[in-house]
C-alpha cells in the first residue's frame, strides 16, 4: 500500500490523464513491479561479470608449406569452443601497425632454410626487427614449427619471441618449439594459452579438446634409374639430371621439392673412428635416436660443416682454446685432438642432426607418371688446402649409380605453384633455377594449358651450359613455350645476365603483368634474385609511370595475390 502522501501525489499527477495515458501508465507501473522482483547484482557480482566477459585474441600464422595455416585454423576452432573469440590472421596480409590495437597476440610461425622466416611472412618479420614499436600493452605467445634435422631449428620463432620481449610485450606463455610431429605439442600449447588468458580474464577453466592426427612426413623408397650430366665436357660445371623410380605412387605438384637426407662419406667416417679409437659398434644415445657410433656418424649426424655453437661445445669438452670458426668434425679432430675414446663419446651427443636438402622437382606427374620423379642437381665443388672437395648432398647424389636405392620425401610448396591453365606465366630461372620451370612446361604441355609461357634462362656458355637444350627447343617448336630469352654471360665480351634480357623486353613484360600474368624467380638468392627484382621494380616504375614506392606496392600486391613467387637459395 502507498502512504497517504504518495497516494495524494499519484492522484494529482493522474487526475488529468486521458484513457490512453492511463493505460500506458498502468503498464509502466506494472513493468516497474516486475523488474523489482529481479535481484540486482551486488558490487562483487558486478565485478565478477566484468571479469568474466569473453576475451578476444588474435591468432596469427606465418607459413611456407601450409602447416602453420592448417594448424592455426584447427586450434582457432578449439579456442572458440571454449568461449574465447578468435581473430585468425595471415602474417602475409597483417598490418604491423595493428599490433597497437591488440591485447592478446599469439603466433604460429615456421622456419625455412638457414633459419629464415617464411617468404610471405618476411615483411612482418622485417618490420618488427627494423622498427622500434611500443608493445608494452601486448600479451603474447609463440608456437614455432621446425624440423630438428636442420641446425637452426625453429630460429624464426625464437627471433620473433625475443623481439616481442625487447619491444616490451609481456610473454604470458613460454615459447614452444615443435618438430615435424607437432600435433600433441600444439594442443598442449593451446591448453597453456587458454589457462594464461583465463588468469588475465577470470574466465572459467576447461579442458581443451584434443584430436590427435599424425603429421609425420611420408618417406618414399626409390631407385635411381638414370643419372645424366647435362653440361658438356668443356664446362667448368657438373649439373646432373637424376631420375628416380619409386616403389609406390608419389603425389606432387609442379613447384614442389624433393627432400633427401645425405649419407656421410665412408672414408671420412672411417678416418674419424681411427683417429679417436672409439668402438664403432658401441651404442650411443642422442636426442633423436640411439644407434651405433658408426651408424650415427654415417647416417644421422652432421660431421661436414659444424655450427659455431657445436665447435664451442667441442672446445668445452676437450679443453682446447678454439677460435670462433666452422670446421668439419674431421678437421677439428686433426687440429684439436681428443684425449681418449671416452672423451669423443661425450662429443657425439652435441653434434646436430643431418639436415635434409631440398631440390626443386623438375618432372611433371601428368607427363611422367606417379612412380617417376626427376631432380636437377648442381655438384658443388671447392678447394680446401688445395684439395678439391664436393658439397655433401650434391656429391652424394651425383655419385649415385643406376640401380642404387634412395629414400626421399615431398616438400609441398604453397606459394610456388602454377596459376589457372588459361593464365600466362613468366619464368626467370638461370642455372639450376630451370628445374621447377621444366616441371611447369611439361605439366602445361601434358594438360594442354592455354596460357602463354615465357622463359628467361641463363648460364655461362651456350655450347656447354644450356641445360635441357633439346627439350626447351622442342617446347618452342610445339608452341608450349611461346617466348624464350637466354643470357650466356661468358659468350660475349661484356657479361650479359637474365636481368639484362629483362630490360630489353621491359615494355612487353609490363604488358604481360598488366594482363594478369604470374611471375616466378628461381635460382641463386645472391646476387641473381635481388638484381632481377630490382630490374622488375624499375620496369614497373618506368612503364607504370609511378614512384619506386608504388612499384614496390605493385609487386607486393602481386605476391599477396599469388602472382609473384620466388624459390631462391
The structural domain count of the chain equals 4
* CATH number, domain with residue 468: 3.40.50.80
CATH at 244: 2.40.30.10
Average pLDDT, stretch 9-25?
52
Sign of the CA dihedral with 143 first, then 149, 155, and 156 last: negative
Determine the average pLDDT of the residues in 344-354.
Answer: 91
420: closest CA among 453, 455, 450, 454?
Answer: 450
CA of 160: how far to CAs of 156, 166, 392, in Å? Answer: 6, 10, 31
Residues 400 and 471 in one domain: no
Give the whole-number percent of the chain exceeding pLDDT 90. 57
Within a domain: 15 = no
Question: Residues 257, 371: one domain?
Answer: yes
Final residue in a domain of this structure, among 333, 350, 367: 350
Measured distance CA(62)–CA(547) in Å, rounded: 29
Domain assignment present for residue 5? The answer is no
Reported as a single tens digit per residue, the pLDDT across 317-341 is 999 999 988 788 999 999 999 999 9
Mark whether 271 and 231 lie in a shared domain: no
pLDDT band of 7, cuts 50, 70, 90:
low
Query: According to the model, what pLDDT value does residue 133 have?
Result: 87
Asked if residue 243 and residue 282 are part of one domain, the reply reads no
Residues 174 and 323 in one domain: no
Average pLDDT score over residue span 131-141: 90
Assigned domain for 33 exists: no
Q: Is residue 132 part of a domain?
A: yes
Q: What's the mean pLDDT in 206-214?
A: 36
User: Which pTM does this prediction carry?
Assistant: 0.68
Is residue 394 scored above 60 in pLDDT? yes
pLDDT confidence band for 201 (50 / 70 / 90): low
DSSP 326-363: ---HHHHHHHS--SSHHHHHHHGGGSPBPPPEEEEB-S
Helix (H, G, I), strand (E, B) or coil at 94: coil
* CATH code assigned at 156: 3.40.50.360
Say which range, 34-43, 126-135, 447-456, 502-511, has the weakest mean pLDDT: 34-43
How much is the average pLDDT of 231-246?
94
Q: What is the pLDDT of residues 212-223, one digit of tens each?
A: 334 457 899 999
* 214 domain residue, yes or no: no
Q: Is the pLDDT of residue 16 over 80?
A: no
User: CA gyration radius for the chain?
Assistant: 32
Residue 183 pLDDT class (50, 70, 90 cuts): confident
DSSP 371-422: TEEEEEEEPPEEEETTEEEE-HHHHHHHT--TT-EEEEEEE--SSS----TT
pLDDT at residue 51 is higher than 70: no
**Between 15 and 308, whose confidence is greater?**
308
Whether residue 246 sits in one domain with residue 281: no
Between 161 and 387, the more confident residue is: 161
- pLDDT > 60? residue 230: yes
pLDDT at 46 over 60: no
Q: Which pLDDT belongs to residue 521?
A: 97
When pLDDT is cut at 50, 70 and 90, the band that residue 6 belongs to is low
User: Domain for residue 31, yes or no?
Assistant: no
The pLDDT of residue 97 is 85
pLDDT of residue 17: 53
Distance of alpha carbon 7 from the chain centroid: 78
pLDDT one-digit tens code per residue, 162-175 = 899 888 899 999 89
Q: Is residue 418 part of a domain?
A: no
Domain identity same for 361 and 281? no
Examine the domain organization and report whether 292 and 404 are in the same domain.
no
pLDDT tens for 75-120 read: 988 888 888 888 899 998 888 888 988 899 999 999 987 788 998 8
Rounded CA separation 171/341 (Å)? 44
Q: With the C-alpha atoms ordered 115, 118, 123, 129, is the resulting torsion angle positive or negative?
A: negative
Is residue 528 predicted with pLDDT exceeding 50? yes
245 lies in the same domain as 391:
yes
Asked whether residue 32 is domain-assigned, the answer is: no
Residues 405 and 501 in one domain: no
Mark whether 115 and 141 lie in a shared domain: yes
Verify that 529 and 396 share a domain, yes or no: no
pLDDT value for 168: 86
Confidence tier at 44 by pLDDT (50, 70, 90):
very low
Question: Which residues span the domain enclosing 230?
Answer: 219-261+355-411
Amino acid at each position: 500500500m502507498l502512504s497517504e502522501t504518495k497516494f495524494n501525489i499519484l492522484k494529482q499527477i493522474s487526475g488529468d490523464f486521458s484513457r490512453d495515458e492511463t493505460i500506458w501508465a498502468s503498464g509502466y507501473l506494472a513493468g516497474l513491479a516486475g523488474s523489482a522482483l529481479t535481484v540486482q547484482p551486488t558490487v562483487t557480482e558486478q565485478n565478477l561479470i566484468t571479469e568474466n566477459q569473453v576475451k578476444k585474441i588474435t591468432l596469427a600464422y606465418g607459413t611456407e608449406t601450409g602447416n602453420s595455416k592448417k594448424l592455426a585454423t584447427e586450434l582457432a576452432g578449439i579456442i572458440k569452443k571454449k568461449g574465447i573469440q578468435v581473430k585468425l590472421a595471415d602474417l602475409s596480409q597483417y598490418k604491423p601497425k595493428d599490433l597497437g590495437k591488440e591485447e592478446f597476440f599469439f603466433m604460429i610461425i615456421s622456419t625455412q632454410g638457414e633459419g629464415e622466416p617464411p617468404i610471405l611472412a618476411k615483411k612482418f618479420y622485417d618490420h618488427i626487427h627494423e622498427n622500434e614499436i611500443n608493445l608494452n600493452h601486448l600479451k603474447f605467445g609463440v608456437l614455432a614449427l621446425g624440423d630438428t634435422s636442420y641446425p637452426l631449428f625453429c630460429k624464426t620463432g625464437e627471433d620473433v619471441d625475443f623481439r616481442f620481449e625487447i619491444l616490451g610485450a609481456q610473454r604470458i606463455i613460454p615459447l614452444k618449439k615443435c618438430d615435424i610431429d607437432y600435433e600433441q605439442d600444439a594442443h598442449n600449447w593451446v591448453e597453456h594459452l587458454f589457462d594464461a588468458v583465463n588468469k588475465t580474464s577470470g574466465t572459467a577453466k576447461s579442458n581443451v579438446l584434443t584430436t590427435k592426427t599424425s603429421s609425420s612426413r611420408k618417406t618414399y623408397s626409390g631407385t635411381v634409374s638414370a643419372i645424366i650430366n647435362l653440361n658438356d665436357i668443356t664446362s667448368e660445371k657438373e649439373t646432373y639430371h637424376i631420375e628416380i623410380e619409386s616403389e609406390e605412387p608419389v603425389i606432387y605438384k609442379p613447384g614442389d621439392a624433393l627432400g633427401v637426407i645425405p649419407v656421410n662419406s665412408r672414408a671420412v667416417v672411417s678416418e674419424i673412428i681411427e683417429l679417436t679409437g672409439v668402438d664403432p659398434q658401441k651404442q650411443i644415445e642422442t636426442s633423436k635416436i640411439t644407434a651405433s657410433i658408426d651408424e650415427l656418424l654415417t647416417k644421422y649426424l652432421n660431421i661436414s660443416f659444424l655450427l659455431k655453437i657445436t665447435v664451442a661445445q667441442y672446445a668445452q669438452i676437450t679443453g682446447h682454446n678454439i677460435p670462433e670458426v666452422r670446421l668439419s668434425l674431421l678437421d677439428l679432430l686433426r687440429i684439436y685432438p681428443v684425449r681418449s675414446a671416452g672423451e669423443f663419446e661425450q662429443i657425439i651427443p652435441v653434434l646436430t642432426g643431418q639436415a635434409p636438402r631440398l631440390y626443386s622437382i623438375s618432372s611433371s606427374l601428368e607427363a611422367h607418371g606417379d612412380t617417376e620423379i626427376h631432380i636437377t642437381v648442381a655438384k658443388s665443388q671447392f678447394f680446401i688446402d688445395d684439395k678439391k672437395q664436393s658439397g655433401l648432398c650434391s656429391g652424394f647424389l651425383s655419385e649415385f649409380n643406376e640401380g642404387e636405392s634412395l629414400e626421399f620425401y615431398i616438400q609441398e610448396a604453397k606459394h610456388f605453384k602454377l596459376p589457372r591453365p588459361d593464365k600466362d606465366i613468366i619464368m626467370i630461372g638461370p642455372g639450376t633455377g630451370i628445374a621447377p620451370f621444366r616441371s611447369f612446361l611439361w605439366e602445361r604441355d601434358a594438360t594442354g594449358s592455354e596460357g602463354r609461357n615465357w622463359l628467361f634462362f641463363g648460364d655461362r656458355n651456350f655450347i656447354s651450359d644450356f641445360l635441357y637444350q633439346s627439350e626447351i627447343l622442342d617446347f618452342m617448336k610445339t608452341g608450349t613455350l611461346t617466348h624464350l630469352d637466354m643470357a650466356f654471360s661468358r659468350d660475349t665480351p661484356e657479361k650479359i645476365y637474365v636481368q639484362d634480357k629483362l630490360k630489353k623486353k621491359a615494355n612487353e613484360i609490363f604488358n604481360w603483368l598488366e594482363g594478369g600474368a604470374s611471375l616466378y624467380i628461381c635460382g641463386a638468392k645472391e646476387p641473381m634474385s635481388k638484381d632481377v627484382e630490382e630490374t622488375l621494380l624499375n620496369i614497373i616504375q618506368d612503364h607504370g609511370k609511378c614512384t619506386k614506392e608504388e612499384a614496390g606496392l605493385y609487386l607486393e600486391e602481386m605476391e599477396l595475390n599469388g602472382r609473384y613467387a620466388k624459390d631462391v637459395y
